[in-house]
Amino acid sequence: MIFNKKSRIFITGVSLLFSLQAAAAAAPPEDTVSLQHGAHRSGNRTDADMERWRSHRLGQFIHWGLYAIPGGEWNGKVYNGAAEWIRSWKEMPHEAYDNLYKQFNPAGYNPQQWARQAKDMGARYMIITTKHHDGFCLWPSKYSKYTVASTPWKKDIIGPMVEAYNKEGIDVVLYFSIIDWNHPDWRTSLKTKEDTVAYGRFKVFVKNQLKELLTKYPTVKGFWFDGTWDESWKTDGAFSDELEQYLQSLHPGLIIGSRLRADEKGARHFDSNGRLMGDYEQGWERKLPEKIEDVHHNDWEGVMTIPENQWGYHARWTGHIKTANELIEMLARSASLGGNFVINFGPKADGTYRAEEQQLAAQIGQWMKTNGAAIYGGGYAGLEKQDWGYYIRKGNTDTVYMVVCNIPVSGYLRVKIPPQQSLQSATGLESGQPIPTTQTGRNEYLLQLENKKYDAPVVIQLEVKKGKERGEFEKART
């Protein structure tokens, strides 16, 4: 991709009006810092691979590794942190964790079933932890002994998973942690000359493993980097910049979010001039933006756990467990702000899913079957948000979906349309029936929902046309 300083305005919007609004909001400030390893592009990628990723909107994250074996418990004690971090808990000796691989034998691992479940949920892409912070590789890497090949299971986990998901039409993205607690050359910071030499070897190892993954699994669509916040990594912006370019040259179209790189000043995600590095904003973890300005009209993705903060399998979920309706609302919010929403699953050590996750996947899937049209390929609509929920515009069209999550006791839903536009029709997506609509102002309408109990967000399809507004409405003289 070519970075042209002069071409700051890019077209992403749904109409010229929204495009111009978007471009104005997205235009970053003038560069004040001279950078060699900052952003190399202004605006979102427009190639087919990125368009495809952008249209997915719903993804599945899977955290699976050795941490699923203790499942958040060791020696009768319960770890309150995230299950995949248990090795860092003082109650669990490193030696005990580092020998867990001798027990990894997931007899219930059925990638076809995993893929079917994801498909039924409506996921269009998935992200799998090839290697988390513990350094254990779910593929038989020739650069490490700490892999599935050394376990009683022996076989590759990733290959059959990529194949099964692809067969269901689901794209696969590979999660890869730069933090590697198992590698003798990995460092958090470089204090001595020896550290620098060791970390130099570590960077070669990382590059080799990434190349290996792309070679072994050529259909993958992206890398999802993690564990890139250490000083050792942040202070070598030249390396992560070169690495990103190298991977994308090996695998044209490869999607890499903003977690990988730091610029030469150590700034992450956004370079020292405030420009996004990478193909999309990747900092939305267990939190979501509230308004379009929060994401600067960039592509972005939000990743979400079902309980409070558990990615890998933890036998005892505590605190609030999100319901299907909450996750659907988050999905709608994400699509309304032009982002993808990814729900995390942490399979058990035997390769099966806990009942709560299976049930949630099925409930979300049921909603998506009826309402998926509002989500896939949806984006920012450019209409004033109302308290009842979210507007999502279908691509570059006049179709706008309302995902109604909060139904007012009156049953009336207010819709405000920008000047020089009018509401042509409002139809219930599930019922296919017109929604009774009254125009109450030059650009305002009230839609009346049927008075009944709703047990999931309701979707209404609007057709909003440009042109002269209808009706005679006098402004109040005050």
Binding-site ranges for ligand FHN (CB under 6 A): 63, 82, 84, 226, 285, 303, 311
| Residue 94 Cβ vs ligand FHN, minimum distance, rounded to whole Å | 17
Least distance CB 304 / ligand FHN (angstroms): 9
CB of 254 to ligand FHN, least distance (A): 19
Q: Give me the least distance between CB of 426 and ligand FHN, in Å please.
A: 38
User: What tokens does 370 get?
Assistant: 């009826």
- Among all residues, whose Cβ is closest to ligand FHN? 311
Q: Which is nearer to ligand FHN, 64 or 311 (CB)?
A: 311
In the complex, minimum distance from the CB of residue 402 to ligand FHN, in angstroms, rounded to a whole number: 31
**Which lies closer to ligand FHN via its Cβ, residue 61 or residue 202?**
61
Q: Taken in order 262, 298, 335, 56, is the CA torsion positive or negative?
A: negative
Q: How far is the CB of 457 from ligand FHN (least distance, A)?
A: 26
Q: Which is nearer to ligand FHN, 303 or 383 (CB)?
A: 303
Question: Coil, strand, or helix at residue 177?
Answer: strand
418: nearest Cα among 460, 388, 383: 383
User: Smaller CB distance to ligand FHN: residue 203 or 268?
Assistant: 268
Closest CA to 79 of 68, 69, 92, 66: 92
CA quadruple 126, 175, 330, 332: dihedral sign: negative
Helical packing angle, 111-121 and 158-167, nearest 10°: 40
The answer to whether residues 225 and 259 touch, using CB atoms and an 8 Å cutoff, is yes
Check residue 260 and report its DSSP letter.
S
Angle at 322 between CA 158 and CA 129, to 5 degrees: 15
Beta bridge partners of 414: 446
Min CB(43)–ligand FHN separation in Å: 25
Cβ 311 to ligand FHN shortest distance, Å: 4
Closer CB to ligand FHN, residue 168 or residue 285?
Answer: 285
Measured CA to CA, the distance from residue 402 to residue 413 in angstroms comes to 10
Cα 51–chain centre separation:
15
Sign for the CA dihedral angle at 71, 77, 78, 80 comes to negative
Considering beta carbons, is residue 131 or 394 the nearer one to ligand FHN? 131
Q: Please say whether the beta carbons of 139 and 156 come within 8 A.
A: yes
The residue with tokens 């590979």 is 174
Residue with smaller CB distance to ligand FHN, 217 or 311: 311
Q: Which is nearer to ligand FHN, 158 or 303 (CB)?
A: 303
User: Which residues are within 8 A (CB) of 350 and not within 5 positions of it... i.e. 6 or more apart?
Assistant: 106, 107, 108, 109
